[in-house]
Each structure stands twice: as structure tokens, then as C-alpha cells.
Amino acid sequence: MSLNRSEQQLFEYIEANRDERQFWEHKVRGFDAKLPDRAAAARAIEGELWRYFIERSAVVPMFKQAAEREGLRRLSMLNLAEYLMRRWLPPRVVKRPPA
């Protein structure tokens, strides 16, 4: 899976900060439990990640510098959302009909 620069930066920040990682793990598991399918959960998580990126760009120096350099035009965070789901959620078992 390939992450864009902003997704990679956000992922590294989440991984480096234990409290942030726990917060996002809980959030990802909550969306997965609440929404009917993983695609819907990924889209919901993607929106939350973008809002979080905007919020962090006001206070965290590395995000602030990126925002000053590149602006805050809307970027997709869907790959990161899907990646976090793969990392933190158990795979769903697909039941196949008997042959």
C-alpha cells in the first residue's frame, strides 16, 4: 500500500505518540463496530483523519510547516484509513457456501 506524503507524515506521528496511537486504534475499532461494512468504515475514518490533520497543522510544528509550504487543500486519507484498519482489525471471515 502506498501512502501519500501527508498520510505518511500523519501515520508516523500517530505511531510515535502512544496516546495518539491508542486514540486512533479505539476510533478505528469503533467505526468498524458501528458501520455495516468496511468500505463505509474506511470512508468515515478517512474524514476523521483529514479533520485531525487540519487540527494538528495548527499546533504541531511538522504539520504546520507542511501546511505553510503546501497549503491545506483537501487530500485523500483513504489509503491511511484502510491501512490502519488492516493493522488493527481482525480479518473478516467470508463464509462460502458448501461446494
Q: Which amino acid is at 60?
A: V
Q: Quick one: pLDDT at residue 49?
A: 96
Domain with 15, as residue range(s), is 5-88
Asked if 24 and 14 count as a contact pair (C-beta separation under 8 A), the reply is yes
Mean pLDDT value of segment 2-23: 94
The cell for 13 is 506521528
Q: Over 41-63, what HEC string results?
A: HHHHHHHHHHHHHHHHCCCCHHH
Could you tell me if residue 97 is inside a domain? no
- Whether 99 has a pLDDT exceeding 80, the answer reads no
Q: Quick one: pLDDT at residue 91?
A: 82
Alpha carbon distance 32, 5 (integer Å)? 25
Instruction: Give the number of domains in the chain.
Output: 1
Q: Quick one: pLDDT at residue 92?
A: 74
Asked if 32 and 59 count as a contact pair (C-beta separation under 8 A), the reply is no
Could you tell me if residue 25 is inside a domain? yes
